[in-house]
Structure 1
């Protein structure tokens, strides 16, 4: 495994989170995630690509501030099959609304099969 493979999967996932068209989002998630992905998000645990798609549609895409986007803020650090990266959720004007770090597990084929979301600063 290498950082480039992980970064490609992460960037495709973030592109999917920012896609407003549901068909494009589904296609991008199909490239980035395995069918049986385990997603540990701020609202709990979900299994399957549909759970991730539902989270994006219902939480990320419907923010009260209007059009928002996810941005990767760090390089993807991938010591082996696990990786981590920083992110920011920002308004259309670039105002940071939330930031955090995700830890992911990537299969040898390059699909993310587990995401653990850590949102907000550690205090």
Structure 2
């Protein structure tokens, strides 16, 4: 398991704005039984993940996720941090996610918001 590669695939799925391309990335990155939860949203299954990602793009148009250095993992667990902000600008939102990998895909994810605007 390469934590950086898996985290980069995760970020790519979250950054994709084209619905058809995003769905392809969701299929490759998340298991069919994916379970996601963070302080402001939750979703299950690939349809749920696709809807969550679409919702972020609607709420924050033009924002992009950026993977921060230091993704790591052990066994089937992975931990990484990211930031979200306007393309080319300062990111007002930062978070960390912990995932469980099964068969090379994310099966469960717990997200934490480390920095959010007031």
Normalising to structure 2: TM-score of the pair?
0.88
User: d(CA) in 2 for partners of 1:44 and 1:19?
Assistant: 19
Alignment correspondent of 1:24? 21
User: d(CA) in 2 for partners of 1:22 and 1:45?
Assistant: 20
Give the Å deviation of 1:46. Answer: 1.8
Give 1 or 2: higher strand fraction: 2
Give secondary structure in 2 for the equivalent of 1:20: coil
Q: Deviations over 1:34-90 (max 9, x none)?
A: 0110101233432111111111101x21235x3010011022210211110010001
Alignment correspondent of 1:117? 111
Which consecutive unaligned segments of at least 5 residues does structure 1 have? none
Normalising to structure 1: TM-score of the pair?
0.85
User: d(CA) in 2 for partners of 1:12 and 1:77?
Assistant: 14
User: d(CA) in 1 for partners of 2:59 and 2:42?
Assistant: 20
Give the Å deviation of 1:117. Answer: 0.5
User: d(CA) in 2 for partners of 1:44 and 1:28?
Assistant: 20
Alignment correspondent of 1:10? 7
Structure 1 contact 10–32 (Cα < 8 Å) conserved: no
The two structures, once aligned, show a CA RMSD in angstroms of 1.5
Which consecutive unaligned segments of at least 5 residues does structure 2 have? none
The counterpart of 1:75, out of the listed 49, 67, 70, is 70
Give the Å deviation of 1:94. Answer: 2.1
Count of residue pairs the alignment pairs up: 115
Alignment correspondent of 2:53? 56
User: d(CA) in 2 for partners of 1:29 and 1:7?
Assistant: 17
User: d(CA) in 2 for partners of 1:46 and 1:81?
Assistant: 21
Structure 1 residue 90 corresponds to structure 2 residue 85: yes
